[in-house]
Amino acid sequence: MNKNGKIKILGIAGSLRRGSYNKAILKAAAELLPIGSELGIFEKLGEIPPFDQDQENSPPPVVVDLKEQIRSTDAVLIATPEYNYSVPGVLKNAIDWASRPYGDSAWDRKPVAIMSASSGMLGGARAQYHLRQIFVFLNMFPLNGPEVIIPEAGAKINVQGNLVDQYTREKIAELLQALLEWTTRLERAEISPREVTKGHPYRAAYASQSDSEKKYMGEPGGVGR
Ligand SMILES: Cc1cc2nc3c(=O)[nH]c(=O)nc-3n(C[C@H](O)[C@H](O)[C@H](O)COP(=O)(O)O)c2cc1C
């Protein structure tokens, strides 16, 4: 929560394209925010170099900035296209940087919501499900619904980059309201990291792994994957 008592949301668009539909729906989200929330947008995705594990202990300034922005936000909102049935490389690259080094992930326990827009018929649904899979390992708290999946985005966003489809605007407003409630509930629960770690099935399994197994998961000095 910021100094004004508002829930802070950090928006990240998974496309670098100037006329991106996904940037457009983030812009629409800024217009549709519920009272008690504010949205900042991470604009530097294209400045993030390819992930290099040799650099993870001294990441480039843009990654330090990304991690700080994630840490200081209450919730994350991702708007992404689907590339070849999955998450665009630029977005996955940013996710990977901000998750490292092991034990210093900025994503841990962050509430997160997803929207996707595509020129195709399925609206980026497959990328959404791949993202949800990634959130499991990152120990994030994804909002389950409503799902905002926007097919044939070119018919809903005009050349000025404005989302003009009323139904889609309503769905984004619903998603934002749900994200606000979800984030507020999680903050009220005041779950300590220790309790979450104990309760998280993957983390529990990880804690019982041998050092060599942990190295295999990519800890420094391990073989990585
Ligand atoms: C490399 C590449 C792969 C794509 N693969 C898919 C896909 O698997 N599914 C889909 O619905 N659209 C796919 N598209 C089309 C995108 O949905 C479309 O280009 C969309 O406008 C990209 O989002 P943006 O407008 O935010 O840049 C692909 C586009 C590119 C450039």
Q: How far is the CA of 86 from the centre of ligand 1 (A)?
A: 10
Closest CA to 12 of 58, 48, 43: 43
Ligand 1 atom closest to 17 (CA): 27
SS3 sequence of the chain: CCCCCCEEEEEEECCCCCCCHHHHHHHHHHHCCCCCEEEEEECCHHHCCCCCHHHCCCCCHHHHHHHHHHHCCCEEEEEECCECCECCHHHHHHHHHHCCCCCCCCCCCCEEEEEEECCCCCCCHHHHHHHHHHHHHHCCEECCCCCEEECCHHHCECCCCCECCHHHHHHHHHHHHHHHHHHHHHHHHCCCHHHHHHHCHHHHHHHCCCHHHHHHCCCCCCCCC
**Residue 194 in this model has a pLDDT that exceeds 60:** no
pLDDT given at position 81: 98
Ligand 1 atom closest to 86 (CA): 8
pLDDT given at position 5: 86
At a CB cut-off of 8 Å and minimum separation 6, what does 13 contact?
Answer: 20, 22, 23, 26, 41, 45, 78, 79, 80
**Residue 38 in this model has a pLDDT that exceeds 70:** yes
At a CB cut-off of 8 Å and minimum separation 6, what does 87 contact?
Answer: 14, 80, 95, 127, 130, 131, 134
What are 101's two structure tokens? 């080094």
pLDDT band at 204 (very low <50, low <70, confident <90, very high): low
From 16, 22, 26, 118, mutation site for ligand 1 pocket: most ligand atoms within 8 A of C-beta: 118
Q: How far is the CA of 81 from the centre of ligand 1 (A)?
A: 6
What are 88's two structure tokens? 């665009």
Ligand 1 atom closest to 24 (CA): 26
Select the more confidently predicted residue: 5 or 142: 142
pLDDT band at 195 (very low <50, low <70, confident <90, very high): low
pLDDT band at 26 (very low <50, low <70, confident <90, very high): very high
Measured by CA distance, the residue closest to atom 4 of ligand 1 is 83
At a CB cut-off of 8 Å and minimum separation 6, what does 118 contact?
Answer: 21, 81, 82, 124, 150, 151, 152, 153
pTM of the model: 0.89
Q: How far is the CA of 41 from the centre of ligand 1 (A)?
A: 21
Instruction: Tell me the residue type at 85.
Output: Y
Domain with CATH 3.40.50.360 in the chain: 7-190
pLDDT given at position 199: 46
Q: How far is the CA of 124 from the centre of ligand 1 (A)?
A: 8
Give CATH for domain 7-190. Answer: 3.40.50.360
Per residue in 135-180, pLDDT tens? 999 999 999 999 999 999 999 999 999 999 999 999 999 999 999 9
pLDDT given at position 206: 53
**Residue 7 in this model has a pLDDT that exceeds 70:** yes
pLDDT given at position 214: 52
pLDDT given at position 4: 78
Q: What is the mean pLDDT of the chain?
A: 89
Per residue in 99-126, pLDDT tens? 999 999 999 999 999 999 999 999 999 9
